[in-house]
Amino acid sequence: MTEKTIFKRIIDGEIPANVVFEDDQCLAFHDVNPQAPTHVLVIPKKEIASLEAVADEDIPLIGHLHRVLRDLARQLDLGDGYRVVVNCGASGGQTVDHLHFHLLGGRPLGWPPG
Ligand code: 5GP
């Protein structure tokens, strides 16, 4: 049996998280190491290792996650602008092998990213 990722353990309630939103398809919680005044992670409850592993059947789920991201940005007062980031693979900076969307805001965000 493969080991659970840290995010699967959060979904299963084995590790605490500061949850800001949850429904049957996803969970959103504050990042433990925030890179901006607001840094929330939105993750599907379905175990998908990365963006690369998204299947065609997951497209409605990915759309749902984006609606949640939009609504959270409004709820968290990010009206000035915000950024949604998906790190994919080792060179893309992905450290947790469970698909997640970073929602970052609350300060001006530079470009290009590192
Ligand atoms: P990645 O580098 O894979 O794109 O992003 C993983 C993110 O998960 C990082 O920003 C990291 O701070 C966050 N993270 C890792 N472990 C935990 C944890 O146990 N709890 C929370 N809330 N965030 C975590």
The 3-state DSSP class for residue 36 equals coil
Q: Are strands 38-44 and 101-105 parallel, antiparallel or unpaired?
A: antiparallel
Residue 75, C-beta contacts closer than 8 angstroms, at least 6 positions apart = 20, 21
Q: Are strands 26-30 and 82-85 parallel, antiparallel or unpaired?
A: unpaired
Binding site membership of 93 for ligand 1 (Cβ less than 6 Å): yes
The pTM of the whole model exceeds 0.75: yes
Q: Which CATH architecture has domain 6-105?
A: 2-Layer Sandwich (3.30)
Could you state, in order of their start, the residue ranges of all structural domains in the chain? Answer: 6-105
Task: State in Å: Cα 74 to ligand 1 middle.
Answer: 22
- 37-52 pLDDT, tens per residue? 999 999 999 999 999 9
Percent of the chain with pLDDT over 90: 96
Binding site membership of 2 for ligand 1 (Cβ less than 6 Å): no
Which of 6, 12, 14, 38 gets mutated to test ligand 1 (max ligand atoms within 8 A of its CB)? 6
Tokens for 108, please give them. 């001006």
Reply yes or no on whether the pLDDT at 54 is more than 70: yes
